[in-house]
Amino acid sequence: MSALSVAIIGAGYTAAEHAKAFAAVPGVRLAGIYSRTPERAEKLAAERGIAAVCGSVDELWEKTRAGLVVVTVTELSMNAVAKACFRHPWTVLLEKPAGKDLDDALDLARAARASGRRVLVALNRALYSSTLAVQEGLAADSAPRFVKVQDQQSMARALAAGQPREVVERWMFANSVHLVDYFRLLARGRATSVTPVIAWDPAHPGAVIARVAFDSGDIGLYEAVWEAPGPWAATVTAGARRWELRPLEALTTQELGKPAQAAEAHPWDREFKAGFRLQAEEAVAAALGKPSRCVTLEQSLETMRLVAALYGDAAALTRPL
């Protein structure tokens, strides 16, 4: 891997995990960091040998001339901070979600397009070794796929954890996006319709169940429980084979009439926050103009549209950029 300077915006837990992952990529130099909490930025810089602690996005660019900037700010800050980043010619990796809701994400995407920047979104579960193993197994199977995604969320717990009410009211974009993205990863083609079985009721959050149809002929089923216990899981059945991610970092496979077999996760998914080490390497490749498996902003919008459709916005699937 060629040498690349990387800058980081934010200095919380997620920023620290990104710094750890990027520091492990050969040829990467952690060139600078900016946070609205300077003392946290100073601490992370000392821990990871980050060269410069800066006081703004513009200063971060001027002092680092980084090829890649990693943005780890809150949902309510992402739009403004991302647009500030688009003023400079680095590749941008945004923490998910890229917007507090679909309208916010579309606005950000329009700004990215106008700037000409290459923008990635850190939907890191796309780069779990378990996810990649499922995709590899499915690649040779042309049978129709049935993808089931199970989600669990709690607005009450999010509020108790200090999340702003404006974010919690859109918690499906902030957190369910992790699960809904598995439809993009495991089903083929474009989602064409969402048929509610149990519709979302924002006044009384509970079960949400919906059928998702894809133009490939694949079928999805989304099951979410709100304010009740449940798993985060994804399964896909194609022909006589079944793959299950439960928990999402762990994979079991099963052939018809045979017992399920557990697959071992890649060591990186134990040593680092799962998906982050490979995501860092792939983001560096993107910044260097090489092929990359990182999720693009355009791909993340597919998932944001589907989240909106699952939660009552029937026209979201065809909403233009």
> Which residue is it, tokens 């850190």?
122
Confidence of residue 111 (pLDDT cuts 50, 70, 90): very high
**Is 60 exceeded by the pLDDT of residue 281?**
yes
Mean pLDDT of 46-59: 97
**Is 70 exceeded by the pLDDT of residue 58?**
yes
Query: pLDDT for 112-156, tens place per residue?
Result: 999 999 999 999 999 999 999 999 999 988 999 999 999 999 999
Please name the residue ranges forming H helices in the chain. Answer: 13-23, 38-48, 57-64, 75-85, 102-115, 129-139, 155-160, 165-168, 171, 177-186, 268-271, 276-287, 297-310
Confidence of residue 160 (pLDDT cuts 50, 70, 90): very high
Mean pLDDT of 68-97: 97
**Whole-number average pLDDT of the chain:** 97
Count of beta carbons in the 10 Å neighbourhood of residue 293: 15
Sheet holding 295-296, edge to edge: 52-54, 28-34, 4-9, 68-71, 91-95, 119-122, 295-296
The three-state secondary structure class of 87 is coil
What tokens appear for 47 in the block? 């821990």
Percent of the chain with pLDDT over 90: 98
Query: pLDDT for 16-36, tens place per residue?
Result: 999 999 999 999 999 999 999
d(CA 147, CA 138): 12
Instruction: Give me the torsion for CA of 265, 270, 274, 276, rounded to 10°.
Output: -120
Mean pLDDT of 216-220: 98
Q: What is the largest CA-CA distance in the chain?
A: 62
Mean pLDDT of 87-109: 97
Mean pLDDT of 176-197: 97
Query: In CATH, which superfamily holds the domain spanning 126-265+294-318?
Result: Dihydrodipicolinate Reductase; domain 2 (3.30.360.10)
Contact 131, 125 (CB under 8 A): yes
Percent of the chain with pLDDT over 70: 99
d(CA 269, CA 283): 17
Distance of CA 270 to CAs 24, 179, 275, Å? 14, 20, 9
**Is 60 exceeded by the pLDDT of residue 1?**
no
Top-tier CATH class for 4-124:
alpha beta
Q: Do 4-124 and 126-265+294-318 come out as alike in CATH topology? A: no
Query: What pLDDT is attached to residue 141?
Result: 86
Tell me which amino acid residue 246 is: R
The three-state secondary structure class of 271 is helix
Q: Is the peptide bond before 247 cis (omega within 30 degrees of 0)?
A: yes
Count of beta carbons in the 10 Å neighbourhood of residue 288: 16
Query: What pLDDT is attached to residue 3?
Result: 85
Query: pLDDT for 246-266, tens place per residue?
Result: 999 999 999 999 999 999 999
Query: What pLDDT is attached to residue 2?
Result: 62
Mean pLDDT of 6-15: 98
Domain boundaries, the chain: 4-124, 126-265+294-318
Mean pLDDT of 275-291: 97
